[in-house]
């Protein structure tokens, strides 16, 4: 039986690094940006546009949730966002159906519920997230506390709205995940080592 691990994460928490390290140690596939590349191949939309809409809640003319429809309303932006989400869900199921894997974001915990994934959510305190982000920033980019805090808030708010729009569930709420991982002041590598040891029997 395949081991499917889905990872939701706060921006700057190290969730992406944790997922990559887990996949490497468990010798299973890792999917993140690869999903966007596949979306570009399978839809008429360019990669730049796909990147803009895959972690942001679409803005409809009326307040609706995914799965509801109003035939009297024509909303091209909403239609395109839902088309991309549906194509993404199809791709995620194809990837999960091939082999064991780690999938980052994309509402994968809900999309792949029929695969019974191990659902992780990674979070951290503000100072730890700022430290990680400063290490990733390019020379010349702003790294002051106010700028980074605003960046965290904006990205995480978009992720929450996207998740809640398409799943009807609260992003980051413990009841929606199997394991909550706090990376505050911790080495992501060490956490990945311990988690891989715990999950290894399930990947055989």
For residue 152, what are its two tokens? 């965290």
Buried b (16+ CB within 10 A) or exposed e, 132-156: bbeeeeeeeeeeeeeebeebbeeeb
User: What is the percent of the chain with per-residue pLDDT over 90, rounded to a whole number?
Assistant: 62
Dump pLDDT digits (tens) for 74-130.
566 777 888 889 999 999 999 999 999 999 999 999 999 999 999 999 999 999 998
Q: What's the pLDDT score for residue 71?
A: 44
CA dist 39 and 21 (Å) reads: 24
More confident residue, 46 or 191: 191
In angstroms, rounded to a whole number, what is the distance separating the alpha carbons of residues 55 and 192?
A: 25
Maximum C-alpha span of the chain: 54
Q: 159-203, pLDDT tens digit by residue? A: 999 999 999 999 999 999 999 999 999 999 999 999 999 998 887
Structure confidence at residue 63 (pLDDT)? 43
How many CB atoms are closer than 10 A to CB 191? 19
Residue 51's pLDDT band (boundaries 50, 70, 90)? confident
pLDDT band at 140 (very low <50, low <70, confident <90, very high): confident
Domains of the chain by range and CATH? 4-194 (3.40.50.300)
């Amino acid at each position: 039986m395949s081991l499917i691990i889905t990872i939701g994460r706060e921006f700057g928490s190290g969730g992406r690094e944790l997922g990559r390290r887990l996949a490497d140690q468990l010798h299973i596939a890792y999917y993140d940006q690869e999903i966007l590349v596949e979306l570009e191949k399978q839809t008429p939309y360019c990669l730049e546009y796909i990147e803009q809409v895959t972690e942001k809640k679409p803005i409809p003319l009326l307040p609706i949730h995914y799965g509801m429809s109003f035939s009297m309303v024509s909303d091209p932006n909403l239609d395109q966002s839902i088309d991309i989400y549906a194509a993404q869900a199809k791709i995620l199921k194809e990837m999960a159906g091939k082999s064991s894997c780690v999938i980052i974001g994309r509402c994968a915990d809900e999309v792949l519920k029929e695969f019974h994934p191990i659902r992780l959510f990674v979070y951290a305190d503000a100072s730890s997230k700022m430290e990680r982000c400063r290490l990733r920033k390019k020379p010349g980019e702003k790294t002051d506390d106010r700028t980074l805090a605003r960046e965290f808030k904006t990205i995480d708010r978009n992720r929450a709205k996207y998740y809640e729009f398409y799943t009807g569930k609260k992003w980051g709420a413990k009841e929606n995940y199997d394991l909550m991982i706090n990376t505050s002041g911790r080495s992501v590598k060490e956490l990945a080592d311990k988690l891989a040891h715990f999950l290894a029997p399930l990947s055989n």
